[in-house]
Amino acid sequence: MKYLSLYCGKTMPALGLGTWQATEDVLEKALNLALNIGYRHLDTALLYDNEKIIGKVLNEWLSSDKINRNDLFVTTKLPPIAMYKEKVFNYFQKSLTNLNLSYVDLYLLHSPLGIKNVPQNKEDVVMDPNVNHLEIWKEMEKIYEKGLSKSIGVSNFNKEQIINILKNCKIQPSCLQLELHLYQQQKELVEFCKRNNIVVVAYCPLGSPGLKTYYEENNKKIEIPNLFENEAVKEMALKYKKSPAQILLRHAIDKGIGAIPKSSNENRLQENLDIFDFSLEEKDVIVLNGLDMGEKGSLTEWEPWGWL
């Protein structure tokens, strides 16, 4: 496993397990499989509604001494409805209780946006684009100073929003988590983060087939490109005797970017982990870099699925 050094002095396994859209029975099985084969970085969020099952599995492993807490890296996130200074700590405590832990390793602001109301359904959500990030960040710093989260960071923030925090913080963000994959490589933002000692972690590093299901459930039709079918990726898979997924993950890892692919299949879980025995040649990295489509390559759009 490769480790990434965070600004706060902690290290993060470069490859982790994403858990969005994982149902309880499937997730419990996937977590046990993942921990068994060596995953130590787990990513969740309060709005995923799966922290409790993760806490259950972790408690079983920790209480039976099958794993040491110091070997785990657990990330969770403050939901948009809690993007107000008076709500931050209470919502953090909810996550800590759900996860059955005394601390988390990384706590992120899930989105720069807030949600003003407590709606009865998603159609009634009132988004708040003008939340005070600095007030909220001060509350995040308090959580860090109490030792309740070993590092703090942001997710889905842009360069200007991060600069605003950097100019006014006591403790800078250690991490930026964002959509990043072959067709949206976020090159400018990644370089900015590197210059400022902020580790970048990619969600949707393999694309996101689950998004198609999500959008369909919300009465939206959207085509999600299959990154595995890209001709350059397929050719490199043959060349290196690896799968397309392994080529895509290695492309991120070689650039010092973390990745949190989601899977519940034992073979794919193992495959995603088996990427540390090869590196891409420079000429192949150049080819993959050239497939970036910028914002046009984005697979996601903001949805108010965190209002609960």
What are the catalytic residues? 48
209-212: which pairs have CB atoms within 8 A and are 24 or more residues apart?
210/20, 210/21, 210/262, 211/299, 211/300
Amino acid at residue number 76: T
∠303-55-272 over CA atoms, to 5°? Answer: 70
Q: What sign results for the dihedral spanned by CA atoms 7, 10, 14, 20?
A: negative
Pull the structure tokens for residue 125: 């959500």
Q: Which residues contact 184 (CB under 8 A, 6 or more apart)?
A: 292, 293, 294, 295, 297, 298, 299
260, 202 in Cβ contact below 8 A?
Answer: yes
- Cα 296 from chain centre: 21
In the numeric block, the tokens 């006014």 are attached to 168
- Cα 184 from chain centre: 15
84, 131 in Cβ contact below 8 A?
Answer: yes
Pull the structure tokens for residue 274: 């088996």
Pull the structure tokens for residue 200: 């970048």
83, 115 in Cβ contact below 8 A?
Answer: yes
Closest alpha carbon to 109 in 132, 119, 280, 24? 132
